[in-house]
Structure 1
Amino acid sequence: MSRVGLIVNPAAGRDVRRLTGGATVVDSYAKRRVAECVLDGLTAVADPPAARLMPDRSGIADHVLEASPSVVDARPLEFPVENSPADTRRAAAHFRDEGVGAVVVLGGDGTTRDVATAIGDVPVIAVSTGTNNVVPTSVEGTVAGVAAALLATGAVSAADVTTRHGTVDVRTTSPDDDRSLTALAASEVSARSFIGTRALLEPADLVGGVVSRAHPADIGLAAVAGAVERVAPDDPGGVGLRLTDPETAAKTVRAVLAPGVTATLGIEAVERLEWNEPFTFEISDGVVGADGERELEVTDTTVELTPVPEGPRLVDVEATLAAGARAGALEDVEQ
């Protein structure tokens, strides 16, 4: 039987940026309704795929399973819930090992990044319900479910409607500690020397970073880079940025640094990077972030940021539905 995976991050869209910025609150009820729509979308094909859901402590999966269409075999995955990003990674690894036809992910860039670390080649439909939503898109849940069903049942070939998204590999080297990190859309280097609330909001703190995509319509460092150099999601490589005080910079840009936070930033240098081409910073005291969240505190450290092509296979939802319609997969459905 064909299968679709569903991952809903209960914590996405609920962090401190709702207080300090203008990000929209996405509560558990809203995520539940989107997830219910995803399962309803599976019924658009004649033989709906089964659905497997990541369990959670917020009751989202339980409510979604209770409201599931009778023609959909929907069940939870069985593993101990830690109420942390480890749940997302564990669910993604399960879906990879089970060979599901597609995974629908409800969250932001951080959730999609966690999925990407373990999902392998499984096509990912990333639906934005988070804070930083550079990679996830604002696709309606039912439509996402239809796309997942078309892929899982083989009505549409994943090779025709997916692209491989790059990531940023982060390596820190210091006399006392070497660490690593993966970012999906952007890795940021900040001069603020504590993790604190995790959110990167102050433009004066940013030293620079590397992005795997860049467009002025993005959020965060990807928007800053996009103001001077565009990189499409399926373009190779990325962009390295060095920032400076806008009062003395030769070039400044206005960009959306976070939801509700538009800032002026000074550009010291912009460098287009090829795959696996490192971009380095020497940091005496600061923090390295991933997709808008502080992750690693560093002191007297070399930070090496490298765009790499080993990211998730992202689904073009509109192209998937168009291909399904051309193939006749949405015609004469009988339940």
Structure 2
Amino acid sequence: MGFIVNPVAGRDIRRLTGGASVSSNYAKRRTATCVLEGLTMTDNAEVLVMPDNAGLADRIVDDAPENLTVDLLNMTVTASGEDTRNAAERFSNAADAVVVLGGDGTSRDVAHGIGDVPVVSISTGTNNVVPTAVDGTVAGIATGLIASKAVSADETTVRHGTVKAVVDDESGERHIRGLATLGVLDQQFVGTRAILDPEDVIGGVVSRASPNEIGLSGIAGGLATCRPDEPGGVGFRLGNTSKPQQVVHAVTVPGVLSHIPVEEYRVLDDGEAFAFDVTTGVVSADGERELEVRNAFVRLRPVDDGPRLVQINAVIERAAEKGLFRTG
């Protein structure tokens, strides 16, 4: 099994400006310890942990149960999202399953390189849509069951969609990819990265939409619903606050319920484009500002090519049906 723990997840500015949860490295380490305990249900489990410059991975290895083989993945640490992407690429060829502790940004970085390896994504970020809030021990049990093939991954995983953008502007043609969302913001600079004010949002495209989610997928979810494993997505363009076509009530950041004026929205087929002309702006991915654009034509489209996410409840239920929690 591969183990990716992002030491900086859950520590952005939204924990200060809204009601976002805080996930300290101590809390991540405790969750990781629970995951490893759950893995002890699997015989001969071997785990490689992505190293980091905060010493978190070292503590996870040191605190691992004695009957597990747990070591650090041999790789160079850059203290950036590149670490997660590099580890995911390594695990795509070496792991039977991967556990990820982080937020939406971490899950997006993993999705870039993990291929078809089943992913158990556990929420330890600030504003999470993709990762699951679940007990680490239960998640560890499910990971071991999938990795050992005691439970079929084909029956208990779903293919999450992504959103891809092509940006034509003064810098030429550029590409950016989001897991759950890509947005277009009325901002000049990346700045603090987190999206704090819904009035900055021009529009976007999401691969999943539900009113019980936070951020752009929650805005879209007030217009139409789209499950994460359904092909296609939802595109929307926000309107003038004085004369909107309609208003959506959405949780835009944790602890903030906003009234969002909408000019246009459309349910999109897989690969169908939704376009924006942008004089000056920023493209966001999964709740974080990523790319500054000038005099740009931005085409966003949902694509059904994301990671295979493990449905933890389905794994546990299937294992119980097969009697895997009983002996004798």
TM-score, scaled relative to structure 2:
0.98
Please point out which of 298, 305, 314 is paired with 2:309: 314
Are the equivalent residues in 2 in contact too, given 1:246–1:264 (CA < 8 A)?
A: no
Matches within 5 A, 1:134-145: 134-145=129-140
- Offset at residue 29 of structure 1 (A): 0.3
- 1:44-84 deviation per Cα after TM superposition (whole angstroms, max 9, x unaligned): 23x14111100011111111111111111111101111110
Cα distance in 1, alignment partners of residues 321 and 39 from structure 2 = 18
- 1:95-114 deviation per Cα after TM superposition (whole angstroms, max 9, x unaligned): 1111x121110001100000
Cα distance in 2, alignment partners of residues 283 and 319 from structure 1 = 43
Which piece of structure 1 moves more, 5-14 or 16-25? 16-25
Percent identical = 50
Unpaired runs of 5+ residues, structure 1, are: none
Are the equivalent residues in 2 in contact too, given 1:213–1:222 (CA < 8 A)?
A: yes
Cα distance in 2, alignment partners of residues 95 and 176 from structure 1 = 34
Question: In angstroms, what is the RMSD of aligned CA positions?
Answer: 1.1
Which residue matches 1:182?
Answer: 177
Cα distance in 2, alignment partners of residues 102 and 277 from structure 1 = 31
Q: Secondary structure at the match of 2:248?
A: strand
Are the equivalent residues in 1 in contact too, given 2:118–2:157 (CA < 8 A)?
A: yes
Which residue matches 2:159?
Answer: 164
Which residue matches 1:291?
Answer: 286
Which residue matches 2:51?
Answer: 55
Which piece of structure 1 moves more, 126-135 or 323-332? 323-332
Cα distance in 1, alignment partners of residues 96 and 169 from structure 2 = 42
- Offset at residue 17 of structure 1 (A): 1.1
- Offset at residue 145 of structure 1 (A): 0.3
Are the equivalent residues in 1 in contact too, given 2:99–2:122 (CA < 8 A)?
A: yes
Cα distance in 2, alignment partners of residues 176 and 312 from structure 1 = 30
Matches within 5 A, 1:1-335: 4-45=1-42, 47-98=43-94, 100-332=95-327
Unpaired runs of 5+ residues, structure 2, are: none
- Offset at residue 21 of structure 1 (A): 1.7
Give the aligned length: 328
Q: Secondary structure at the match of 1:44?
A: coil
Are the equivalent residues in 2 in contact too, given 1:132–1:291 (CA < 8 A)?
A: no
TM-score, scaled relative to structure 1:
0.96
Cα distance in 1, alignment partners of residues 196 and 127 from structure 2 = 12
Q: Secondary structure at the match of 1:115?
A: helix
Cα distance in 2, alignment partners of residues 299 and 262 from structure 1 = 31
Cα distance in 2, alignment partners of residues 65 and 194 from structure 1 = 39
Are the equivalent residues in 2 in contact too, given 1:40–1:142 (CA < 8 A)?
A: yes
Cα distance in 1, alignment partners of residues 296 and 192 from structure 2 = 22
Are the equivalent residues in 2 in contact too, given 1:155–1:327 (CA < 8 A)?
A: no
Q: Secondary structure at the match of 2:295?
A: strand
